[in-house]
A and B are shown apart, each in its own frame.
Chain A
């Protein structure tokens, strides 16, 4: 039940099913009892009519002449309507012409003045106990019995039930369909919002632009200002760090120069140089650490190929004397979820290192498998020294004679740490060093 839609639909169908079931059961029950009541009323009416038509026969017992039967069905043996009168001992004293030989029910006398209506098997029966004054004004007790076949009643009930459930089912389906449409309609803004956020991540737009229902407006407004704030902050942050670097390093450069030029005493020179280079290393390290953005929310994946092309193009200029050949084997479509500035640092440091140490060739390759990006940078230089692991530690330089920043590998190592990646120094098939980096795509 991960989507709002599924939840809504599940709840709606549950409620709807329960409602329809209860409603149907109630309607069926109501119809059933009212139909039974009607049946009873009908039979009761017939009983009164029969009694009205009854008169004493020659024996002084109650009987009804065929000509005075109130319902023609009583004359027809196949009609399913039968009537009989029994005396107090249960003996049949009158039966309608329709009376079958096998009266389906027991002919039991009934207490005077009471009605009894019931359904037994295929029959409805109504019995009425009565007292009759014969010609001698002597009271006699009789019981009038009427039975009617319930087949037509049952059939009617079945028809009703079929119709009822048919319509209720139809209504339920219609309601579900409407519910689906309503749900679709009311969730459209959320879907649109999700789409916009994707576009923002992919850098195709800068903010949430569409108009949203009033319930969502506070959310979209807040999101917009958050995105704006985050982007601005990142830019401000980078600029501030850049300014800080500039304003720290220019005087550092001056100090270096002064030490080189004006300090003649070589022990004093050494004494000044040592803390100076420490200050420089610490500044470099901290500035770099602060500038590392890491994975940020709402920032899209960055294509590596253009960065690798740009950086190798720039390095080709720097190492023009060597005529370094860069071969780049990266699919243009490959993107990594990382900050662009971070990727610049990563590739810049690694490629610079490789170009610095290679004889002629530097190769960059990227493989993507199982959402893990494997980046390899090879060179045909002398390869890494024995204690290569130390190079990954902050401040250790492979050869401080080589001009440049030197702490490139340590910087890369720190950066990879932020991305939970792995770095390995290996031997390259080109003969030199290979840096292997694994990070999540």
Chain B
């Protein structure tokens, strides 16, 4: 999952970035509103965490403009002004949830996960599809109740596919959503991860959870529960 963090305070920005990176997110950062708006409109992000009090372009303005240009990723606003007027304004502009500063790491992660889940159409913290279950809080995966050990990157690929279960996801999309702009990418690696996931989740090849669509990409094909 790829997250955009727009926060002008360097220390807090670094902290939020670290929290999210540790959680397996590819994180893009912007220090001011202008840069933030550009990224929000151009980058293939899954979630944005936006501070409301920003220099140049305000957080609310960014959200409004991004929504206007058709971006539908979930937005979590960070606000120090705990006045309801600004919260309501932010939510009306298109944000999906708010978090008042100062906050705990767990609070930030819980909200972020919940928003991502919701945007993929899942209502529980554990994504269950067929015998496969992915616990977004514990970051663990099990098949028919048996735990499956995945590397952090394998987990990220699975989480993305499962969150968007039923949709065709191209290799480019997967790469874009798992790496930031600055990271080196190799879409061939994706094939390797998909292959490994198939063998770990479905060693007997009876489930066939991931379908390869030639020239288009991959699709998670087990039904949601």
Footprint of B on A, CB under 8 Å?
A: 238, 242-243, 245-258, 260-261, 276, 280, 284, 287-288, 291, 310-311, 313-314, 317-318, 320-321, 340-341, 344-345, 347-349, 403-405
Contacts and interface: CB of A to CB of B under 8 A. Distances in A.
B124 to A, nearest CB: 9
B53 to A, nearest CB: 4
B12 A253 contact: yes
Contacts of A247: 80
Question: Interface extent on B, as a size class?
Answer: 35 or more
Contacts, number: 104
Contacts of B118: 320-321
A403 B88 contact: no
A287 B81 CA distance: 9
Contacts of A243: 53
B105 A405 contact: no
Contacts of A254: 9, 11-12, 15, 102
Interface of B: 9, 11-12, 15-16, 18-19, 53, 78, 80-88, 91-92, 95-98, 100-105, 107, 110-111, 114, 118, 123
The CB with the most chain A CB atoms within 10 A, among B97, B101, B123, is that of B101
Contacts of A317: 91, 95-97
A349 B86 CA distance: 13
The CB with the most chain A CB atoms within 10 A, among B98, B100, B107, B111, is that of B100
B84 A257 contact: no
A311 B88 contact: yes
Interface of A: prevailing SS: helix
Contacts of A348: 84, 87-88
A344 B84 CA distance: 6
27 contacts: A245-B82, A249-B102, A250-B12, A251-B11, A252-B102, A253-B102, A253-B103, A254-B9, A254-B11, A254-B15, A256-B103, A257-B15, A257-B105, A258-B15, A280-B102, A287-B82, A310-B92, A311-B88, A317-B91, A320-B118, A321-B114, A321-B118, A341-B83, A345-B84, A348-B87, A404-B100, A405-B100
Given A284-B82, A318-B91, A348-B88, A246 B102 contact: no
A279 to B, nearest CB: 9
Q: Report the 5 A-B pairs with minimum CB-CB distance, sorted nearest first.
A: A348-B84, A314-B91, A253-B102, A249-B80, A257-B15
Contact of B80 (A250, A349, A403): A250
Given A257-B19, A261-B18, A242 B101 contact: no
A409 to B, nearest CB: 14
B88 A314 contact: yes
A347 B80 CA distance: 19
A247 B9 CA distance: 9
B69 to A, nearest CB: 20
